[in-house]
Each structure stands twice: as structure tokens, then as C-alpha cells.
Structure 1
Amino acid sequence: MDSLISTLAIWALPVVLAITLHEAAHGYVARHFGDPTADLAGRITLNPLRHIDPVGTVLVPAGILALSALFGAGGILFGWAKPVPVNFGRLRNPKADMLWVAAAGPFMNLLMALGWAILFRIAMAGEAGAYTLPMMKMADAGMQINAVLMVLNLLPIPPLDGGRIAVSLLPSRLAWGFARLEPYGFPILLVLLVTGVLGTILWPLIAGFRYLIGVLVGI
């Protein structure tokens, strides 16, 4: 039980920040390109309570962490927040601007991963103290959850961000045909997860990303 409590305490802040700031970034960029929907709904905010989904932000990540802490066996740690409402039709150039709105979330995860890596480097270089190891563990958790969310969301499967980026880049006829896959996106992800294919795809990419940011900040 102590292991479970300490695991949840270390991961809680990184998970909440990674998921909620990812969504807020979508709303901010959508407003920049002409769609005020998220702003009017009060979703362009750093207040995590405006973004938390009880299942996706709390129960799913906590369940995966609990399995890992209690049995040493968990899947890829991931979760989701309440999707920020975006009306792509209100963007000044819907097809082109969709790319930037979609890319904003993974880019925010990239920035947060770098921020946590810097914190890890600072803790590692400082004098050892009571908070040094917990800080390093939390920073490592922050790098991991942001790496997972960034790589996962860049998969070219609608409605993931990578799918919407693909829709923006494809020629119009192919783009609208590809966009029609969106209702099947999450069932496809579920099948990939259950069969282990998702992990096979993601883990090398996540490991490569972690290696790169480690080299960048000197850890």
C-alpha cells in the first residue's frame, strides 16, 4: 500500500499537467487562428479542474499505476482530458490551420518533457537532500508521461492529433476520405492496445525521444 501511495503521489502532478495543458494548448492556438469556441467555454486556462475528465484524467492513469505498483505489471501509462471544443469551420483557413491546432498539444508535451528533464538535471547536480530523490522521480515521471502522450497523439489515426495533421497535409479528396475514419479511431487504438501492437510501435519511439532529451540536457 505504501508503494501504491508513493507512486500515485509522484505521478499525480506530471499526469494532470501533461493532459490538461495539452488540451489548453489546442484551445489557445484555435483562438489565435480565429476560433473562439474554447475561449468562450472557459477552456483556455491553466486551471486543471476545467479540463479534468474523471475517467480519463483520474481513473485510467490511477488504475494503470496501481497495477504497476501492486503487481509490477502495467501497460502504457496514458489518459485523456475533456476534449477542448474546436470548431474547425471557424478557423480562417480551416484545412491549413487545422495542422497548427492539432500540433499544439503534442508540442506542449514536448516543452513539458524538456522542462521536467531540466528539473531532473538540476536535482541530479544539486546537493543530496530529503527531497532530491522524490524530485528526480517526479521529473522522470514527467518526462515519461509527456513522451507517451506526444508520441501517442502523433500517430496518424483520426481523431488523434496526428490524424488531424494528416488530414491537413493530404490533398483535399484524400483528406476528406481519410477524415471519415474518425469514428473508428478509438476502436482501432483499442485493438492495437489489446493485441500489443500499440506497445510495439510506441516503445521504441518513446525510448528514442527520452534518449534525445537526455542527451540535450546532459542526463
Structure 2
Amino acid sequence: MELTLIQKIAIFALPVIFAITLHEAAHGYAALKFGDTTAKMLGRITLNPLKHIDPIGTILVPILAYVSGGFLFGWAKPVPVNFGHLRRPKQDMLWVAAAGPGANILMAVFWAGMIKLAHLMPGSAYAQPLALMGSAGVTINAVLAALNLLPIPPLDGGRIAVSLLPYRWAAMLSSIERYGLFIVLGLLFTGLLNTLIDPIIDLVQHVSLMFYGLT
């Protein structure tokens, strides 16, 4: 069945909102646990999506990317973290950064469960919409996890790499943070981005579906 644009937006809206909300809230919660109260003081450790949504990056860009058949791309308002306030800044940075992609991987597993649930109620009017939304949720969260795990600051993978590298190499990697977005856009427009993240996307999708015997 060919879906209308409105139907496609309806199917993708909830997974996108949950994906970015839980991703950012996970960063703030992890930062709080490791000693930084910045996100808490600014009210960003919340499941209220309005606190995390960027009108352009969360709504307009993903819709345009999807409609044009391009790479599903977007962003949210980043949760502010003062790494200097962490108890062990360099070491704890790893866990704060990993919390976001980790939340997306867990959500991919959750949405795979919705696909399984749809399979358990054949003939129901809710089965197909639930399966489509579940599939969208798995894909969106797999893409977000994979994209954020690229070792390019200020992406989460860049923070993880800075945490793990010796101080000299960590400082060199941190120095390119101001150019990080341009590097990602360059990879996107040259087609190299898909080459780098497709294996991670496939792995997250496969593991999520395998969890429920769907592969």
C-alpha cells in the first residue's frame, strides 16, 4: 500500500520524537550521575520533547530529507554538559557520551518489539500501522546511534575517542571540534558517510530484530 505524505509523517513522528528526547535526556542523566548538574539546573533532564526539539534540525530537515529520498539527517538541541564538573573529567566523558547512542540502541530494541507485537495480532486494524512505526523506529534509532558513534567531535563518538586516547592525541582530536559539522557534511555530500555508518546501522537493526526472532 502506497502511503501518503501525511501518513508517512504520522508514522515517523513518534519514533523521531522519542529518539531525540531520550538520546539527549540520557546525556543529561549520565552527566548528573558523574557529578555535573548543568543539565539538571537548566531543566534538560526531562522526557518533555519540547525541551529538546530544534524546529529546524528535528522537524524541517528530517522531513525534507525523507521526502527527497536523501539520507535521514537531523539534530536536536544538545544537552549542555560541563565536562570540567565531572568527578573524573576525561574518564567520565566516555560514559556521558556513550549514554546517547546507548539509549538509541535500547530504543531500537523496543521498536523491534512493536514489530513483533504487530505480528502477534494479524487481521487487527492496528497491526500494519504498528509494524510500520516499529520499522521506522528501528531504522531511526539505528541511524542516530551509528551517526553519533563516528569518532568526530562534537559527536558522541568523538567524545568517546577523546576519553580513550592518550592526552596528546586527545588534545589533537579535540582541536578539530569546531570543524566537526563541516566534516560530517563533507562526508554526507561525498557519499562516504553511508559507507562508514551503514555497517553499524545494519548491525543495530539485525541485533534488534534478532532479539525477537524476526530475522
1:113-192 alignment to 2 at 5 Å?
113-192=108-187
Secondary structure in 2 matching 1:217: coil
Secondary structure in 2 matching 1:97: helix
Alignment root-mean-square deviation, CA: 1.3
Q: 1:70 — aligned with what?
A: none
Aligned-pair identity in percent equals: 59
Query: What 5-or-longer segments of structure 2 have no aligned partner?
Result: none
Measure, in 1, the Cα distance between the counterparts of 2:143 and 2:173: 24
Q: 2:192 — aligned with what?
A: 197
> How far is 1:213 from its partner?
1.8
Secondary structure in 1 matching 2:81: coil
2:38 maps to 1:37: yes
> How far is 1:204 from its partner?
2.9
Measure, in 2, the Cα distance between the counterparts of 1:192 and 1:159: 15
> How far is 1:206 from its partner?
1.1
Q: 2:66 — aligned with what?
A: 65
Query: What 5-or-longer segments of structure 1 have no aligned partner?
Result: 68-73
1:66-85 alignment to 2 at 5 Å?
66-67=67-68, 74-85=69-80
Measure, in 1, the Cα distance between the counterparts of 2:75 and 2:21: 8
Measured against aligned partners, the alpha-carbon deviations of 1:90-149 in whole angstroms (never above 9, x if no partner) come to 001100000000000000001100000111111112232111100000000000000000
**Partner letter of residue 57 of structure 1?**
T
Q: 1:71 — aligned with what?
A: none
**Partner letter of residue 18 of structure 2?**
L
2:56 maps to 1:55: yes
Measure, in 2, the Cα distance between the counterparts of 1:193 and 1:143: 21
Measured against aligned partners, the alpha-carbon deviations of 1:139-177 in whole angstroms (never above 9, x if no partner) come to 000000000000110010111000000000001111111
Measure, in 1, the Cα distance between the counterparts of 2:107 and 2:37: 25
> How far is 1:82 from its partner?
0.3
Equivalences, count? 213
2:210 maps to 1:215: yes
Q: 1:10 — aligned with what?
A: 11
Measured against aligned partners, the alpha-carbon deviations of 1:179-218 in whole angstroms (never above 9, x if no partner) come to 1110111101111000111012222321232122222211
Measure, in 2, the Cα distance between the counterparts of 1:22 and 1:35: 17
- TM norm structure 2: 0.96
Of 196-205 and 103-112, deviating more is: 196-205
> How far is 1:79 from its partner?
1.5
Measure, in 2, the Cα distance between the counterparts of 1:2 and 1:98: 43
Q: Which consecutive aligned stretches of 4+ in structure 1 deviate over 4 angstroms post-superposition?
A: none
The answer on whether the counterparts of 2:142 and 2:204 sit within 8 Å (CA) in structure 1 is yes
Measure, in 2, the Cα distance between the counterparts of 1:4 and 1:17: 20
- TM norm structure 1: 0.94
